[in-house]
Structure 1
Amino acid sequence: MKLLSTLVASTLALAVSVQATDCTEGMKYCQSVLIDIDYTKYSTLIPQAIKAYGFSGASLPPGFMIDNPSFLFACGSGGSITVEKECTWGCNNAGAGHNDYCTF
């Protein structure tokens, strides 16, 4: 019985730990960081934000990740994102708690 209790507790703890998260409102993120935060959510939102920004590249199918050119995204309310700017030379992950930035 103790083994069963341990297994149930472990399963519940794991289920809670894999819940989706959002970006932090007011922070700037590279697309790769957004994908690390929540692949399912941001693999859909990134192409939508890029299209809304007016990027004139090829048609972007749902879930398509653009690496070149790369973009810097601003995080809004509820994990929403908008393109802050296009990063001509790439986007740099500045680490947890810091705004990501474009390479100059």
Structure 2
Amino acid sequence: MSSRPCSRRNSEATAQYSRRGIFRRAWIKACVKCGLGEKTGKAWYQYRGLVPHDFRRSAVRNLVNSGVDTATAMKITGHRTLHIFMRYNIISTGQLHEAMDKVTSKKKAAK
């Protein structure tokens, strides 16, 4: 995986010389330039902001919010267990309020 020998065997050192590290550097540079992230220190890896994995979370939320059933969404996203799928299916406060409004509306209509 690494294209250059590395004397230290830790994540920072190996990431610097791996293909993944090259992508990560370019990603961070692009996100900072676009305003989607910020550097938190002097080192290249000290960054807070958008990460590629955020797109997987967005895909799960978009599928669920579009009404795609869980089994189909799991097949599309490649999640094999419901437990892991639900870690990506982040429910917003707005969705919780909407769900409770539905319950309240049904109770009022039943009276």
Higher relative contact order (CA 8 A, sep 6+): 1
What TM-score, normalized by structure 2, do the two folds share?
0.25
Q: Which entry has the higher C-alpha Rg, 1 or 2?
A: 2
Which is helix-richer, 1 or 2?
2
Say which structure is richer in strand: 1
TM-score between both structures, scaled by the size of structure 1: 0.27
